[in-house]
């Protein structure tokens, strides 16, 4: 029986971050899928906020994808996913934070305002600005790539990838675009697609499209800006 139990939901990008992280670090884990549309009682008892991902390790639980990933990085130092030196370590954390504090709220608005074309014009512009900032202040200042922090993959890359995987849907459904000059970002996407951690957690675009298109019919499981 693996030490780590991960509670997950197939379509959840946050849970995907943690799955990718454990695959990158070669941490043995068991996966329990939770039906978020019909939460079982055992889940309500286990999870303080009812949200995936959540891990159980040595009978203790940790939740919030970013906190889980940092916990696992501390608990399992092999195959390091944060730089050892304090300054680049802090910079990696800046880009981890940028994803949740700046990019995801912009993507959340794109989904929330999907029936308001006037707001969508502004939302598309904001997303392009957030991606440009990541390109110019992040990728280009942190090194020569291919990863956000340079030559080595870090937790920063894993923070973004599940959402970038879904980006073709944001483009197709709501017109979001990656700016032309984001060449580091584009190369990074191709690099990340080749990682085993991505290949073994990726869902097809049809899968994502079907879920997003259902948003107007059913209440979605909340998964942005939480």
Ligand X SMILES: N[C@@H](CCC(=O)N[C@@H](CS)C(=O)NCC(=O)O)C(=O)O
Which positions touch ligand X (CB under 6 A)? Answer: 9, 12, 14, 36, 50-53, 64-66, 221-223, 226
Give the residue at shortest CB distance from ligand X: 223
CB closer to ligand X out of 128 and 205: 205
CA nearest to 52, candidates 101, 109, 10: 10
User: Rounded to the nearest whole angstrom, what is the least distance from the CB of residue 12 to ligand X in the complex?
Assistant: 3
Catalytic residue among 12, 99, 169, 182: 12
User: SS3 for 83?
Assistant: coil
User: SS3 for 108?
Assistant: helix
CB closer to ligand X out of 36 and 107: 36
User: Rounded to the nearest whole angstrom, what is the least distance from the CB of residue 220 to ligand X in the complex?
Assistant: 9
Does residue 12 have an active-site annotation? Answer: yes
Distance, CA of 92 to CA of 123 (rounded, Å): 26
User: Rounded to the nearest whole angstrom, what is the least distance from the CB of residue 16 to ligand X in the complex?
Assistant: 9
Give exposure, 3-38, as e/b (b: 16+ Cβ within 10 Å). Answer: ebbbbbbebbbbbbbbbbbbbbbebebeeeebebee
175, 168 contact by CB (below 8 A):
no
CB closer to ligand X out of 125 and 214: 214
**Catalytically annotated residues:** 12
């Amino acid at each position: 029986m693996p030490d780590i139990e991960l509670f997950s939901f197939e379509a959840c990008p946050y849970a995907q971050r943690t799955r990718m992280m454990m695959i990158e670090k070669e941490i043995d884990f068991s996966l329990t899928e939770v039906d978020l549309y019909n939460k079982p009682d055992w889940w309500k008892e286990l999870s303080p906020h009812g949200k995936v991902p959540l891990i159980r390790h040595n009978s203790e639980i940790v939740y919030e994808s970013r906190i889980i990933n940092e916990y696992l990085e501390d608990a399992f130092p092999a195959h390091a996913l944060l730089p050892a030196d304090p300054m680049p370590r802090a910079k990696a954390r800046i880009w981890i934070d940028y994803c949740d504090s700046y990019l995801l709220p912009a993507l959340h608005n794109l989904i929330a305002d999907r029936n308001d074309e006037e707001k969508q014009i502004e939302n598309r512009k904001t997303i392009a600005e957030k991606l440009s900032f990541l390109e110019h202040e992040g990728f280009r200042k942190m090194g020569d790539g291919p990863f956000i922090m340079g030559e080595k993959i870090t937790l920063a890359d894993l923070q973004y990838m599940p959402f970038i995987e879904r980006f073709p849907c944001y483009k197709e459904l709501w017109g979001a675009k990656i700016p032309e000059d984001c060449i580091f970002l584009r190369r990074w996407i191709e690099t990340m697609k080749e990682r085993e951690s991505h290949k073994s957690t990726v869902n097809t675009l049809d899968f994502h499209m079907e879920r997003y298109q259902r948003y107007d019919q059913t209440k979605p499981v909340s998964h942005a800006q939480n």
